[in-house]
Chains A and B, each alone.
Chain A
């Protein structure tokens, strides 16, 4: 999950970025609209958090530009203006939700999770896939009602796979969405993470939740499809 933060206040930007990194997101930061537009164009951004009061251009304008250029990732507005007229303006420009400063970090994360889930087409807060239930609101994973303790990275990997159930997600894409720099790419960090995740979800290796598609990547097969076939 690659999140782009466009915010001109450095203290807020960095604190927000480090909080999101702790939660397992890959984060790109931009201090103005031009930089933000560059990142949004050059990288596979999953979600953008945009401050409305940017120094070079208003956040609303940036959002309008991004939408016009066909970028359809969810956009969350960060604003100090709490008036409805401002909110409506931002949402009309193409944003999906707004958070008024000062915000509660947990609330922001909850909004981000909800946006990611909605943009993947899920209306419910909890994603189900066979025995696995992923509660995006509480960031909690259960397998057959047993709570599984996952690290932030493990959670994000599982979330990504569950949001796109049935689809293969390549290693490169997964790494891209987890790390900001290229240097992790060649290492086997991802393999290690997946192995740990499998172990935690499925200690006795009976469920086969995550499949490896040789030479391509990983996927969580669509359980309903399987039941239909059998």
Chain B
């Protein structure tokens, strides 16, 4: 099943949208709650003022009634459908007065407040209108012995308030929507601009894939510079590897076909010469061995490699060689500092050290010394070198031979008449070359050979 791939910017935009919507929804909710609380408090205050104003203009009338002037303190109480109602009950709950605006409305049905008490209630009237009711109980002392109890209720229709609230909500939504939209457009543009180097890199990579480009360009922002450089190194090493692979193949083909031709010709004879057959097979084996080991070398790592500790490799290989050459009593001094490391593929280091030590073990009389150091260069342009030397007390190597042993160039066949002989050092030279290093043979202080491997740091 094909996995749908999101683009990085689409992903970011979707996430931003979700975050912004959640943030603005929370803001909206809080603003709404604050508005609700403050405006309800305002309405309550207003209702309380209305009650007090009504009391201030009321006169006690006959039979426990109250007389109000023609002109009520609040004109809304006088006009129908104003949304402000007033109703006054006596102590037993019987209505004794209601404002003209409250005609047909039973505001205080089922409510009662005792003198000195106050009451706020949001209630729904019989006709479905929602009102906020404020009630106040009052004992009116007419004389020192006669007093009357009144319950005064004032209600405000909340429809207007709700309308206002809805209007505010719509307005807020509109504003926030606009802000979110413009923010997203801004972020989108920023992403487009910010991710442009990535897009450019992708384009360049496809250009490399299609062969239209050799490497990535160099003017990438700092964050991508490392990626671009590593990518270039990877492309370069891949190309080198391909070349090496092709050269190996060509060499193999070339150097195998010749002995193969000899073999065929010899087998075609009435009495094939087994010596010729054996020699040619030996030659082919040597070629295969050398070329395969050459091709197996990994070479320098493209990405900053973690350095490999040298001393344990030396110790391990010396242990193995002691086993292999058990009949030979060899004193091998490994004087490699434990801190010595080199950033190479571990297998390559094994191959370098293994072949050098094997060579020394083969030729020494009984003593081998192994040293490693860092040679710092005075010149800035010349990099520091990792220097690894293996010295023995054997017969040493004549100058002419030493050149031949390390000379490889494009040579497909190893030197030496015996298969396997001399391949080791040619491999060392080959791997050293891969790492842009070198090998040389000198005379050791012990009189034997001293092989020095130098690898740039």
A82 at the interface (CB under 8 A from B): yes
Taking a contact as CB atoms under 8 Å apart, the answer to whether B292 and A91 are in contact is no
SS class, residues of chain B in contact with chain A: helix
The minimal Cβ–Cβ distance linking A122 to chain B, given in whole angstroms, is 9
Residues of A within 8 A of B358 (CB): 84
Taking a contact as CB atoms under 8 Å apart, the answer to whether A91 and B354 are in contact is no
Residues of A within 8 A of B354 (CB): 84-85, 87-88
Stretch in contact with the other chain, from A92-100, A175-183, A210-218: A92-100
- For B325, the closest partner residue in chain A by CB is A97
Taking a contact as CB atoms under 8 Å apart, the answer to whether A83 and B347 are in contact is yes
Given contacts A92-B316, A102-B285, contact A85 B323 (CB under 8 A): no
Contact of B323 among A96, A102, A124, A125 (CB under 8 A): A96
B365 at the interface (CB under 8 A from A): no
For A, the interface residue count at a CB cutoff of 8 angstroms equals: 18
A interface list, Cβ under 8 A from B: 82-85, 87-88, 91-92, 96-98, 100, 102, 114, 118, 123-125
- For B289, the closest partner residue in chain A by CB is A82
B296-310 vs A, Cβ < 8 Å mask (1 yes, 0 no): 100000000000000
Taking a contact as CB atoms under 8 Å apart, the answer to whether B327 and A83 are in contact is no
Taking a contact as CB atoms under 8 Å apart, the answer to whether B324 and A91 are in contact is yes
The minimal Cβ–Cβ distance linking B423 to chain A, given in whole angstroms, is 9
Taking a contact as CB atoms under 8 Å apart, the answer to whether A83 and B296 are in contact is yes
Tell me the complex Cα distance, A124–B289, Å: 31
B interface list, Cβ under 8 A from A: 285, 289, 292-293, 296, 316-317, 319-320, 323-324, 326-327, 346-347, 350-351, 353-355, 358
Tell me the complex Cα distance, A84–B324, Å: 12
Residues of A within 8 A of B346 (CB): 85
Residues of B within 8 A of A114 (CB): 326-327
- For A85, the closest partner residue in chain B by CB is B350
CB-based closest 7 A-B pairs: A84-B354, A85-B350, A91-B320, A84-B350, A85-B347, A88-B320, A84-B351
The minimal Cβ–Cβ distance linking B252 to chain A, given in whole angstroms, is 15
Tell me the complex Cα distance, A82–B350, Å: 12
Contact of B351 among A83, A96, A98 (CB under 8 A): A83
The minimal Cβ–Cβ distance linking B391 to chain A, given in whole angstroms, is 20
The minimal Cβ–Cβ distance linking A177 to chain B, given in whole angstroms, is 23
Residues of B within 8 A of A87 (CB): 320, 354
Residues of B within 8 A of A123 (CB): 326-327
The minimal Cβ–Cβ distance linking B304 to chain A, given in whole angstroms, is 22
Taking a contact as CB atoms under 8 Å apart, the answer to whether A84 and B289 are in contact is no
Tell me the complex Cα distance, A92–B355, Å: 18
Tell me the complex Cα distance, A132–B324, Å: 28
Given contacts A88-B316, A88-B317, A92-B316, contact A118 B350 (CB under 8 A): no
Tell me the complex Cα distance, A124–B327, Å: 7
Tell me the complex Cα distance, A125–B328, Å: 11
Tell me the complex Cα distance, A84–B347, Å: 8
